């Protein structure tokens, strides 16, 4: 978490304070947009990446990306990105990114991840990020992921049993919320936080009315198998958050606590990709088969 100047501190904690606005200023750091989306008609959209997106691939990979916009229940149009890496894949990953990037910056990573996992990936920008309208807030995040989920189902025909939710850092907040309300194939929580107050005040033992992002109070409702990933040296969200989330989630597989990894480099460790492959290629199909067998009895 970044240190605050005196002026910023006063702006945050003005009288009377508004918890939702405080949380938004502390948690959301949308970059200057690294892409634009143009439209030839209401259903045809074109992606334009700026140099700041640092796209690492060529035209062939760019052609695998489909972008679109949809309106949330809050009335804002948000940007979405469908990365078609594996047309025959059983699973599609619904990816919720961190707090300081947008879809343009994430495009290369999503292509690389989907290619290596042999999965298609669907992602979206929160309100106020990239080409999405509105302003980022906790309540808007929940509406954003609901819109992404419904679009993935209605436009692309992906059933919940073939959707894997993936949230990283602040992206675990909407991921946990959605996973607590719908049953999907699986859930991946990468560097999750218990709640906002527990990040800034580690000794907090309960959820107060002024707290934000209370994922710890929702994880017990997750009905899908969950994989928890966290770096042991995470300097932003302590690994204790990941441990507690793991202990509080009903259906879990072996977690991945990456020794020596921080908040933004877990993906650089070899065991990260190996663990994801094991989860998607072996554990989820096995759990699905066992569930089908039980239901058939």
Decide if 66 contacts 39 (C-beta within 8 A): no
Indicate which residue of 217, 263, 265, 281 is catalytic: 263
Output the pLDDT for position 21.
55
Residue 48 annotated as catalytic: no
Indicate which residue of 137, 169, 212, 215 is catalytic: 169
Output the pLDDT for position 6.
42
**10-residue mean pLDDT series, the chain (297 residues):** 44 44 70 96 91 96 96 98 93 97 98 97 98 96 98 97 97 98 98 91 81 94 98 96 98 98 97 98 95 81
Helix 103-117 to helix 270-277 angle (10° resolution) is 60
Spell out where 21-85 has E strands. Answer: 35-41, 44-49, 65-71, 77-83
The Cα 142–Cα 72 span in angstroms is 10
Output the pLDDT for position 211.
83
Give a three-class secondary structure readout of 4-35. Answer: CCHHHHHHHCCCCCCHHHHHHHHHCCCCCCCE
DSSP label of 164: E
Output the pLDDT for position 258.
98
Residue 263 annotated as catalytic: yes
Indicate which residue of 190, 234, 238, 241 is catalytic: 234
Output the pLDDT for position 204.
81
Q: What pTM value is reported for the model?
A: 0.91
φ, ψ for residue 164, nearest 5 deg: -115, 120
Residue 234 annotated as catalytic: yes
Output the pLDDT for position 14.
40
Q: Which value, in Å, is the radius of gyration of the alpha carbons in the chain?
A: 19
**CB-side exposure of 284: number of CA atoms within 13 Å?**
24
The Cα 238–Cα 232 span in angstroms is 8
Output the pLDDT for position 292.
84
Strand-pair category, 120-124 with 92-96: parallel
Which CATH number describes the domain made up of 17-296?
3.40.50.1820
């Amino acid at each position: 978490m970044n240190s605050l100047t005196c002026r910023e501190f006063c702006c945050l904690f003005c009288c009377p304070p508004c918890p939702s606005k405080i949380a938004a200023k502390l948690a959301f750091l949308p970059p200057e947009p690294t892409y634009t989306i143009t439209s030839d008609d209401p259903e045809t959209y074109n992606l334009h990446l700026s140099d700041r997106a640092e796209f690492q691939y060529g035209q062939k990979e760019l052609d695998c990306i489909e972008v679109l916009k949809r309106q949330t229940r809050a009335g804002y149009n948000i940007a979405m990105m469908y990365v078609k890496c594996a047309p025959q894949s059983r699973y599609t990953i619904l990816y919720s990114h961190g707090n300081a990037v947008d879809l343009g910056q994430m495009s290369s990573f999503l292509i690389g991840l989907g290619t290596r996992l042999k999965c298609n990936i669907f992602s979206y920008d929160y309100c106020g990020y990239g080409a999405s309208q509105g302003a980022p807030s906790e309540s808007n995040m929940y509406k954003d992921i609901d819109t992404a989920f419904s679009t993935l189902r209605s436009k692309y025909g992906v059933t919940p049993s073939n959707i894997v939710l993936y949230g990283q850092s602040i992206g675990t907040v909407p991921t946990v919320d959605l996973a607590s309300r719908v049953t999907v194939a699986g859930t991946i929580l990468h560097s999750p936080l218990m709640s906002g107050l527990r990040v800034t005040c580690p000794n907090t033992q309960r959820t107060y009315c002024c707290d934000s992002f209370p994922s710890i109070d929702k994880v017990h409702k997750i009905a899908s198998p969950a994989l928890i990933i966290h770096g042991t040296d995470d300097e932003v969200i302590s690994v204790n958050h990941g441990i507690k989330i793991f202990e509080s989630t009903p259906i879990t597989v072996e977690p991945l606590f990456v020794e020596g990894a921080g908040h933004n480099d877990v993906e650089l460790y070899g065991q990260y990709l190996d663990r994801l492959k094991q989860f998607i290629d072996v554990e989820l199909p096995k759990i699905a088969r066992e569930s089908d067998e039980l239901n058939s009895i």
